[in-house]
Chains A and B, each alone.
Chain A
Amino acid sequence: MVKKKEHFKAVVDKLVELKDTSELMIDLAYSSLLLNSHHLAEEVEGLEERVDELHTEFEQLVLSSGFKPEEAKDFLGLIRLGVATEQIADAGAEIAEVVLRGLEPHPILKAAIEEAEETVVRVQVSLNSPLVGKTIRQAQIHEETGMWVLAIRRGNVWIRPRSSTSIQQDDILIASGYAEGEEDLENLASPKELENG
């Protein structure tokens, strides 16, 4: 029974990761469009591959649950959840593709893009950063730099920042905001060592 619980814990963990990753993809896909950022669009493509992997792993976990024939109905919902999530991820990738093909600034889109004088930056958090160990709420990144953290990449795991998410050394922060905030964010994430220090 304990083993079974552990197995289900693994199923749920995988499902939560699938959900978070697909939600993040949608966020980044639309952001790539609104900010006309190739960079973000490429991240979305990378995430789509990640979702495909996660989906396969999730299906394998569900199918190896050792359920009895009469329990099959209880697992159908999970399989369908996975399928729907992959469809969402595919649609996210389609949006990113529009950006990667190169959006010519037609008047109606030009208005959409020009209003956004924002940029997207990626910064890595170094050991000496005051951000290490703080939650997003405590870190006050927006207040300090005017930049919004869109996503956190930790190794090959992508995290959607919530106010309770804590920041770790080596995390890559992907943030958007006005260009002026870029340098501030870089200094916050990886402060330059003092000359003699």
Chain B
Amino acid sequence: MVKLGKIEYKPVPVRDLLIEIKDLSELMIDLAYSAALFDSKALAEEVLELEERVDTLAYLLDMNVMIAVRDAEDAEHLVGVSAVASAADKISDAAADIAILVIKDIGIHPIVRQVFEKVAEHLIRVEINPESILAGHSLDELELAARIGVDIIAIRRNKEWIINPKEVEKLDRNDVLIARGAPHGIDELEGLARGTISELEE
């Protein structure tokens, strides 16, 4: 069970909150489905991590509204933002429901999984081991898309999420990568991150 704590107010602009919630929500849906269809508990756990983050951001959005409202007119203008915070919460709950199917082993027929593996690109979660050659390099140095056909769609660094990381982003040891690609490239990325493969072909 996730331990819930008090959420402290931070002055974050509404626009920044909305953009982060948008990116995280899309990622959550993507990850939740992949967790279910590739039967990956590791991905499901990431979805639950993301849920916590989205919930925190939705609270912050609501707090922004509360602080800004001084009269009835303000309330009329800002009730929409509260509605968005509540919708964001619903989306993350629904994605978490999908993740929980995986964690609780509520079945998805094996044939469905087999078929899905053929039609969809794979998505994985992999952590960078200290001995991995990926650590300390930026994405444009690594050129993973060109070399092994894998796109890094998100990086989690402790509690911080970097969605659609920029080319200059440097990978660190212990970073958790969420990546998409063909099965062969995904296997290679796994080896590189674990440190069992120590060379990137040109």
A157 contacts the other chain (Cβ, under 8 Å)?
no
Q: Is the interface of B mostly helix, strand, loop or mixed?
A: helix
For the complex formed, measure the closest distance between the CB of B57 and the CB atoms of chain A, giving whole angstroms. Answer: 12
Q: Which residue of B lies closest to A76 (CB)?
A: B106
**Chain A residues within 8 Å of chain B by Cβ, number:** 54
A125 at the interface (CB under 8 A from B): no
Q: How distant is the Cα of A157 from the Cα of B92 in the complex, in angstroms?
A: 25
Name the prevailing secondary structure of the A interface residues: helix
Q: How large is the interface on B (under 10, 10 to 19, 20 to 34, 35 or more residues)?
A: 35 or more
Residues on the A chain within 8 Å of B101, using CB: 77, 80-81
Total A-B pairs, Cβ < 8 A: 150
Q: Contact between A104 and B76 (Cβ–Cβ < 8 Å)?
A: yes
Which of B2-10, B26-34, B130-138, B165-173 participates in binding chain A? B26-34
Q: Within the complex, what minimum Cβ distance (angstroms) separates B107 from chain A?
A: 4
CB <8 Å contact, A108 and B64: yes
Given contacts A23-B30, A26-B29, A91-B91, is CB(A73)–CB(B15) below 8 Å? no
Segment from B16-24, B154-162, B186-194 that makes contact with A? B16-24
Q: How far is the CA of A157 from the CA of B29 in the complex (A)?
A: 20
Partner of B110, one of A34, A74, A95, A104: A74
Q: A81-B36, A81-B101 are in contact. List 18 more A-B contacts (CB 8 A).
A: A12-B112, A16-B119, A19-B30, A27-B26, A30-B21, A73-B106, A75-B107, A81-B98, A84-B94, A84-B98, A87-B97, A94-B83, A94-B86, A97-B83, A103-B77, A109-B78, A112-B18, A163-B151
The 3 closest A-B pairs by CB, nearest first: A30-B22, A106-B77, A112-B15
